[in-house]
Amino acid sequence: MPGRRMLLGGALAAAAIRRAGAQSWPDRPIRIIAPYAPGGQSDTVARLLSPKLAESLGQSIVIENRTGAGGSIGAGIVAQSPPDGYTLLFESFAFLVVPFIVKGLTFDYETAFAPVGQAVALPYVLVVKRDFPAKDMAGFLAHAKAHPGVSYGTPGVGSLGHLAGALLENRAGIKLEHVPYRGGAESARDLAAGTIDAAIGTANTFGPLVQEGKVRGLALTSGERRGSLSHLPTIAESGFPGFDLTSWNGLFAPAGTPAPVMARLEAALAHATRDPATREKLAMTGNDAVTEGSAAFTARIQRERVVVKQIVAQTGIRAE
């Protein structure tokens, strides 16, 4: 009995220390891992949100780019970090795809993270280089059928762009060559230079190039026209009904992060996404600000994981 009382007392003391730590959190800067290249979608949105996150939390926010393997390198860093709220992940739709196509992961995406909330929603866009012979979606498909191996860049293996390209191949009966990059900004650079034929990326990445006439926008991956490139048709209305892939960005903490810390993070993210000036800046980059808390975001991830699994099985998409 004395031994049991000592163990119980120790457990209660440890719990009290954890509660006290959570109540004083944060007492130092917070690191957010953006697992893609600087200047791309995830990096841009994280940096637009960070001032208001810092304002709400009372600590500075440090954005750190750790790229590679479809975002799994950066995600792995967060998965292996202490669940204390000081190392977070700012991820994209690839969060759902990578576990199904990348082999040898040292962590489980489904159990290693606690979703804090969704920040933005956005469609991806299919764009081609300026001198590509096709002027519209019908022309692109005709050219791709006549010339198998049209190259398209994406922000990486497992990105929504990769998934959309594979699904388009499957439904249109064409063969494309996937060229994965470490982020959307790098694929945009090569597309503008004519190194690759096409790309599937965000309006944030390609919108300015479309407006400047350096690349040509063909179609959106979302089920309806939305965002800053809403003048473009959707792939769905271009002969593929039901084609609907809309990306998002959201904030994640390591699994096991204390509930009080999660609540502070959720409130801080809502503070940032509801700020009128921040929403305007996000809209200018093609993003629809979303205030979706932990419970709703978790439910979304669970629903969309089922859809992604089906598409991966249907298309045979895999890491190159």
Task: Give alpha helix (H) positions in the chain.
Answer: 2-24, 41-57, 72-79, 94-101, 109-112, 137-146, 160-172, 184-192, 203-211, 259-274, 276-284, 294-315
CATH 3.40.190.150 residue ranges for the chain: 2-119+248-315
Q: Are strands 246-254 and 113-129 parallel, antiparallel or unpaired?
A: antiparallel
What is the overall mean pLDDT for the chain? 91
194-203 pLDDT per residue, tens: 999 999 998 8
* Phi, psi dihedral angles at 47 (to 5 degrees): -75, -30
Average pLDDT over residues 130-143: 96
Residue type, 202: T
Look at residues 233, 231, 201, 198 and name the one whose alpha carbon lies nearest to residue 216: 198
The single-letter DSSP state of residue 234 is: B
Please, which pLDDT band fits residue 285 given cuts at 50, 70 and 90?
confident
SS3 labels along 34-102 = ECCCCCCHHHHHHHHHHHHHHHHHCCCEEEEECCCHHHHHHHHHHHCCCCCCCEEEEEECHHHHHHHHC
Who contacts 251 (Cβ-Cβ below 8 Å, separation ≥6)?
32, 88, 89, 90, 115, 116, 117, 119, 265, 269
* Predicted pLDDT at 92: 92
Question: Strand, helix or coil at 313?
Answer: helix
73-102 pLDDT per residue, tens: 999 999 999 999 999 999 999 899 999 988
Question: Strand, helix or coil at 162?
Answer: helix
The single-letter DSSP state of residue 216 is: E
pTM of this prediction? 0.80
Residue 121 bridge partners (DSSP): 248, 288
244-263 pLDDT per residue, tens: 898 899 999 999 999 999 99
Residue type, 271: H
Q: For the domain made up of 2-119+248-315, give the CATH fold.
A: D-Maltodextrin-Binding Protein; domain 2 (3.40.190)
For residues 172 and 144, the answer to whether their CB atoms sit within 8 Å is yes
CA 90 to CA 252: how far, in whole Å? 6
* Predicted pLDDT at 80: 97
Q: Of 2.30.38.10, 3.40.50.2300, 3.30.930.10, 3.40.190.10, which CATH number belongs to 123-238?
A: 3.40.190.10
Please, which pLDDT band fits residue 70 given cuts at 50, 70 and 90?
confident
CA 141 to CA 135: how far, in whole Å? 11
First to last CA, the chain: 60
How buried is residue 260: exposed, middle or buried, by Cβ count under 10 Å (0-12/13-18/19+)? middle
14-54 pLDDT per residue, tens: 444 445 456 789 999 999 999 988 988 899 999 999 999 99
* Predicted pLDDT at 20: 46
* Predicted pLDDT at 17: 43
For residues 166 and 243, the answer to whether their CB atoms sit within 8 Å is no
Look at residues 210, 233, 231, 228 and name the one whose alpha carbon lies nearest to residue 280: 228
Who contacts 86 (Cβ-Cβ below 8 Å, separation ≥6)?
26, 28, 29, 30, 31
Question: Of all residues in the chain, what percent carry a pLDDT higher than 70?
Answer: 92
* Predicted pLDDT at 21: 53
Residue type, 160: L
